[in-house]
Amino acid sequence: MTTSPLIASPLYAGVIGQERAVAQLEGAARNPVHAYLLVGPPGTGKRAAAQAFAASLLCPNGGDGTCESCRQALAGTHPDLIMVERQGAAITVGQAAEITRLAVRSPVQSERKVLVLVDFHLVAEAGPALLKTIEEPPPSTVFVVLAEHVPSELVTIASRCCRIDFGPLAPERVAVALVAEGVDPSVAAEAAASSGGRLDRARLLASDAGFAERRAAWEGVPARLDGTGATVVQLVDELVASTDTVLEPLRARHAAEREALDERVKVTGERAGSRKEIEDRQKREERRLRTDELRSGLATLAGVYRDRLASGKGDASAAVAALDALGATNEALVRNPNEALQLQALLVRLAPVKGS
């Protein structure tokens, strides 16, 4: 009697709603190749899946999920699991040289070494410098490349990898996961609906008492517009201030993470350098969360104009122009970090929406 392939290893307990991807990774672990590319939106489980996959490759028992090697890999502390995070807005040529250096080093504890390259959709000009390394690493090295999408700079490298796709989660699946973690069903449903299919964002929203109030503030913007610059400035100040509050639950989680690390350093002697790595990652998470919150607000605004357009009331061309402006601002958030100026430029272009 064979074990059902639908039952995932305990290693993947933290990966929700990605059964197909998990099945592919479990199969790959039995006969791994040199490089894998995990592609999908943020917050869909790629990082947790990469660490679980690494654990199965590094485990002397094939990934039992219970040994010290597996525990280290899942915690990100295994000496042969190297998580490579970008140091700036994009992965640089200097970082590419460091990745090549790390790739040729011999494993310390296991028969293999796993390099997980995070945010590789931001590879920019460093792609060509890494092509040969990822294409022909030493036999003991396995690359796991994480990317939100495959830009032109990544196409050639992607062709040298085994690709595994991660899709956004259905809101119903996110809500079920939140309820299983103890979240009130009504709160879970609202957080899931606004999460964009991302469990990490849904968890933050579910723990954020100001979520509903912020959403109402964005929904109320079109009715408050009156064509004056003073009103635009006031609205932007309010929206930016409300966005700042979304960081509070994340910062509380980050503080707990740093305290746990300090305790591990004290008890196990784990290298103190891990703290800077964690702090750098936390800064990136804060920036990403701010961008996510602004995009959520823009989506809420777009919903107001979309509903107006569907109702047949008001100026249809003004509603279409507003939707175009919102789309352009959403794309510009990645390139221009000055949120206040972007929002001011947006709101002066939006038509007021008065009454029902």
Beta bridge mates, 82: 115
Q: Quickly state the pLDDT bin for 261 (edges 50, 70, 90).
A: confident
Q: What's the confidence (pLDDT) of residue 242?
A: 85
Q: What is the pLDDT of residue 315?
A: 87
127 neighbors 151 (Cβ within 8 angstroms): no
Class of domain 10-165 (CATH, top level) = alpha beta
Share of the chain above pLDDT 90, in %: 43
Q: How far is Cα 232 from Cα 9, in angstroms, rounded to an integer?
A: 53
Q: How far apart are CA 35 and CA 309, in angstroms?
A: 47
Strands 113-117 and 81-84: parallel
d(CA 305, CA 303): 5
Structural domain spans, the chain: 10-165, 171-207, 210-347
- What pTM was computed for the model? 0.69
For range 294-314, the mean pLDDT: 88
Percent helix, strand, coil in the chain, to 5, is 60, 5, 35
Question: Comparing 246 with 109, which gets the higher pLDDT?
Answer: 109
SS3 55: helix
What is the distance between the alpha carbons of residues 269 and 264, in angstroms, rounded to a whole number?
Answer: 7
Q: Round to whole Å and give the CA distance between 15 and 9.
A: 11
pLDDT in tens, 203-227: 878 887 788 888 889 999 999 999 8
Rounded Cα–Cα distance for residues 301 and 68 (Å): 49
Residue type, 43: G
Is residue 103 pLDDT above 50, yes or no? Answer: yes
Helix (H, G, I), strand (E, B) or coil at 28: helix
Comparing CA positions, the residue from 329, 138, 136 lying closest to residue 221 is: 329
User: Taken in order 289, 294, 297, 302, is the CA torsion positive or negative?
Assistant: negative
**How far, in Å, CA of 138 to CA of 104, rounded?**
6
pLDDT band, residue 180 (cuts 50/70/90): very high
Can you give the pLDDT at residue 325?
Answer: 93
Query: What is the overall mean pLDDT for the chain?
Result: 86
pLDDT at 57: 95
User: Where is average pLDDT lowest: 3-12, 70-79, 278-287, 340-349?
Assistant: 3-12
pLDDT at 334 over 80: no
In the structure, what pLDDT confidence band is assigned to residue 80 with cuts at 50, 70 and 90? Answer: very high
Distance linking the first and last C-alpha atoms of the chain = 64
- pLDDT, residue 203, reads 87
* Torsion sign (Cα): 133, 137, 141, 142: positive
Give me the DSSP letters along 310-345: HHT-S-HHHHHHHHHHHHHHHHHHHH---HHHHHHH
* pLDDT computed for residue 4 by the predictor: 36
- How many angstroms separate the CA atoms of 334 and 206, rounded? 25
Q: Residue 5 — very low, low, confident or very high, per pLDDT cuts 50/70/90?
A: very low
Look at residue 356 and tell me whether its pLDDT is greater than 60: no
Do the beta carbons of residue 161 and residue 188 sit within 8 Å? no
